[in-house]
Amino acid sequence: MTKMRAMIVPEQGAALRMVERDVPEPGAGEVRLRVQACGVCHSDAIIVEGHMPGLTWPRVPGHEVIGVIDALGTGVAGWTVGARVGVGWHAGSCGYCRQCRSGNAFACETIKDVTGVSRDGGYATHMLARASALARVPEELDSVESAPLLCAGITTFNALRHCGAGPGDLVAIHGIGGLGHLAVQYAARQGFRTVAINRGTDKEPLARSLGAIAYIDSAAEDPAEALRAMGGAKAIIATVTNADAMAAVVGGLGINGTMMLIGAVQPFPIDPLDLLAKRAALRGWYSGTAADSEDTLAFSLLHEIESMNEIYPLEEAQAAYERMMSGKARFRVVLRIAD
């Protein structure tokens, strides 16, 4: 095959459109993937709407990618043609800079690319990826169903295992949507007393079926007060993208509690005295590296954690993107690209 198909954002604010391109050859340290599936994530709006400085167009979005290696660049060791792999937001690391040598490869000082944002991603039949960005995908996991685990999964799983909570601690999942429905499953399987917080009661049955022991309707009661009545949360995983909603829950932290911010929002007010009195904290959390993706996939397989997805063909990527942005999808949107 000498040609590939890709859905590109031709310019800022434009709709996605199909193009045909030459199949690219991998450079040094890269592999080429035949893409099987790619999730459609809210973060894809960064390239569509131009939310980051230095962006260039046209660009192929997509950073929840599962595919099969079909070509190796020079200098690639440890990977073989035919291996099934995943690629997430983190586009690789150098392994030798100060941050990489300190165990902070996510903050690599040499490689600052983001998959589907500053380099082409997975809304395509083929894509290039650095070998350092590859995660091995267990053969038991379905490519289409598991693609969202490369972003929504790793972000919530990784935040939970670094939130400071231990088995039996009270952990609140704020927002039961594309991230939150996975976070509830991960929290319950990690042994936390899991509380779901969402506006309205329509998602309560689902949240409880996924492992939540309690549900707080933030439209009917003060969520911070409700958490304090339970003793205060050791951790709150904030998946929502509404600043007022986040401000409303932070007061529910308990002693030494931490609110993990994984949803991008506008600035919101906090009460410093409340944090001081509880020795509580707010912490931002980056999704993770390829090694974190492998941990996420392995944990998901072991505990039968699944993403709830709506599936579209590659040709309908614009409709898939609009469905995701509408907030009406239950709960992730995935492009099926190849078997």
Domain ranges in the chain are 3-149+288-336, 154-284
Q: Do 154-284 and 3-149+288-336 have the same topology in CATH?
A: no
Taking the model in full, what pTM does it have? 0.96
Residue 24 has pLDDT above 90, yes or no: yes
Question: What confidence tens digit (pLDDT) does each residue in 30-65 have?
Answer: 999 999 999 999 999 999 999 999 999 999 999 999
Question: What confidence tens digit (pLDDT) does each residue in 100-144 have?
Answer: 999 999 999 999 999 999 999 999 999 999 999 999 999 999 999
Q: Which CATH superfamily is domain 154-284 in?
A: NAD(P)-binding Rossmann-like Domain (3.40.50.720)
Tokens of 234: 């050791």
CATH class of the domain comprising 3-149+288-336: alpha beta
DSSP for 127-149 reads: EEEEGGG-EE--TTS-HHHHGGG
Do the bridges between strand 193-198 and strand 214-217 make them parallel or antiparallel, or are there none, so unpaired?
Answer: parallel
Question: What confidence tens digit (pLDDT) does each residue in 250-296 have?
Answer: 999 999 999 999 987 789 999 999 999 999 999 999 999 999 999 99
Contacts of 275 (CB under 8 A, 6+ apart): 253, 281, 282
130 burial via Cβ count (<10 Å: 0-12, 13-18, 19+): buried
Residue 183 has pLDDT above 90, yes or no: yes
